[in-house]
Each structure stands twice: as structure tokens, then as C-alpha cells.
A and B are shown apart, each in its own frame.
Chain A
């Protein structure tokens, strides 16, 4: 999976372009939080920490925040 690579490029490109990509991918990525593999779940958590660092508004919105909150 390329989540590591996507997480690595969250700083650098323009917000608009990243938002366009993230908004389509974020649901799929949240789905991976319940993956059987611990490594995958770890990567998802790491990915959201990167999103929170660079694009906090993405995490704070109405669709993403409740899901993340429930997962903790």
C-alpha cells in the first residue's frame, strides 16, 4: 500500500491539490483502521497524525472527526 508515500508528501504541494486528492481517498483510508494487520493500522494512525500536522481542517470536518473519535 502506498499510504506511507502519500503521508510523506503532505507538506510541499499546494493545499488545493492535496485537498482534492485527500477528500476522495479519506474514506478508503479510514476504512483501513479496522484492517487485520497491525502494521496497516499503525500506518493509518501515522497518516492521520501527518494530516493533523499539516492540514488540521481536514481532520476537524464533520465527516472525518466523529469517525476518528470513535476509533480511539
Chain B
């Protein structure tokens, strides 16, 4: 049976809701459905711990997994379309290196959690803006996409080097492990207040991306052809970069650097629903959210010591991706 790509949207929403509810039950502290029902409907339960665990630990964590997975996947899908390149991930313009440097700086300065998030957000933004500024200053006579990618690589390695300096001078007993652990990426430290700030920013970046998705399709023919079809590629690029950077910088500021999702989930989504960004972008978001939920549930239950989720994404994701690659009948790239 041939299924239209759009049917995957309600299908994935159902799967996501089931997964999200399910993950509220998963964890070291046992909660059964009766307890949960009572707690949600009456707002009370004999067991004092239950409310704390649900509202302060499992709910924010579940929401964080959805936001982080969805955000990284949708921005990755938009970037792959914009750069017309399957090797592109959200970090291509330096947002993760910049964010990593910002966070490490804040940790060195012993700032509180909010300070680390703000510095990381600012670091991510400044890295991408520097990359865009560099590419614009040397655009004349070059392929603008190529210059942009090169500028991104240069900026990434610059911030990478700056980060190394910070690690080198960091106190190896206390600061260095904190930096290293932050860089691995985890959802364990996400609080409800953080989500209150980050979720609106993710929405602010995602909605324009969804609205621009038709134009992203047209851009896949290249600069000139897109122009002949009425799409101003330069302006469109800036809008996509702005949205994706807002999404990624805010997400990284609460989760640290989680790789793999933004690179591979868009591919899996493309195998499944085809290249039309009108379907591909929402489905990437949903697939990313589902995947992250699954992986985070694994991360917090696999052993008594929590494994950073950024490690699990790659370990679980690799066979997952190979399976999809083998199964896909049409090539999704020319």
C-alpha cells in the first residue's frame, strides 16, 4: 500500500503521545497508572515523593527530550535542504562549538546554572553570526554556499581551540569534569523553569521554518534556478540560519552538545516521507522527539549510574540508521 507522506504526521503524533505518557512510568521509583491517575485528577497522593518525582523530575525530563530531539532534527533537516548536502548537521555553522565555549567559560567563572545557559546561548549565537559575517565579507566571485560552509568550519575550529585553552587551564579536580560532562550532553539537569524559557524560543524558530518549507523545496535547484522561480535565495538563507540558530543555541544551552540526532533523523524522515519539506520538517521534528524520548529512557534506566544521553544516541542510532539505509528503496540523494 502506498501511504501519502502527510499520514505520517498524525501517526507520529500518536506514537509520541504514547511514548511521552509511557516514559512517565519509567525510572527507579515505581509509579503505577492508578497512582498517576489519582495524582493528576486530584492533585494529591498519600506518597509525598510521587508529586515531586512526577512534576520536578519526570515531566520536565520528558518535555526536554521532546524539545531537544525535535529541535535538533528540524533544524538539521532545514540545513540539509538549504545546503543541499546530506553531510550537514545543525553544528555546521559553529553553533555547538560556540555554545560549548560559552558554557565552559561560565563554568570556569563559577556562574550558576542560568549563567551557564545564557553564556552558552550567547556563544552559540556569536559563533554563527561570525561565520555569516565572514562569508558575506568574502562572497564576491565565490559560490556563497561553499564560502558559508568554509566559514562555519573555520569558526568551529576557532571556538574548538578556545575551548581547549579553557579545558587546559581548568582545575582538573572540579571544573574540568564539569566541562567535560556538560559537553557530553544530558537532560538530567533540565528544570521546568528552563523549559518555560526555551520552549517558546524553539517555537519562535520552528514556526517560520515550517512556513518557509515550500521555498526550501525550490532552493534545492540552486541559486539561479530558485531566483528564476521567484525565490530570493540570499534572504531565504538568512531567515533559515536565523531560525535554526535560535532553536539550536537555546536547546544546546539546556542540554549540552547532543550529536547524531540533527544529522541522521532528517535522513530517516526523508527515507520515510520523501523530500518535500512541507512534510519532511514536521515529520523530522516528530521523529526526533520520539527517538530522543526512547534514548533518554534508556539513558536513565540502563544502569544505576546515568549514562550521558549524547553517548547513547550514537550507540543506539547507528544500527537504527543502517537498517533504514538498507530498507529504503529509493535513493534519497542524487
A associates with B: no
Instruction: Report which B residues bind A (CB closer than 8 A).
Output: none
Instruction: Report which A residues bind B (CB closer than 8 A).
Output: none
